[in-house]
């Protein structure tokens, strides 16, 4: 399913990220049979990591709702970091 509007938005977001100097990696762990999905982002510069993680959460929640799923999220705060 090809959506030119979506492709245009994707390209604009990609260009904005490149212009801001943001880079990094996304690690995706999933088990389709059990409905398990985990995403780990490593973003540089580090000040973009929290915003990008929150943005991914928002998009995933919106897509889930579009499929008629009830969405519950939990944000961990102040628990330190782990790799």
- DSSP per-residue codes, 20-79: HT-EEEEEEEEEGGGTEEEEEEEEESGGGHHHHHHHHHHHHHHHHHHTT---------SS
Query: What is the reported pLDDT for 10?
Result: 80
pLDDT along the chain (83 residues), means of 10: 77 84 92 95 91 91 96 83 52
pLDDT computed for residue 38 by the predictor: 94
């Amino acid at each position: 399913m090809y959506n030119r509007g979506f492709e245009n938005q994707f390209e604009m977001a990609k260009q904005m990220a490149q212009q801001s100097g943001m880079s990094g990696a996304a690690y995706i762990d999933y088990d389709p049979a059990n409905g398990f999905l985990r995403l780990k982002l490593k973003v540089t510069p580090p000040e973009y990591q929290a915003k990008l993680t929150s943005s991914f959460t928002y998009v995933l929640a919106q897509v889930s709702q579009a499929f008629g799923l009830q969405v519950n999220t939990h944000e961990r705060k102040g628990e330190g970091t782990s790799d």
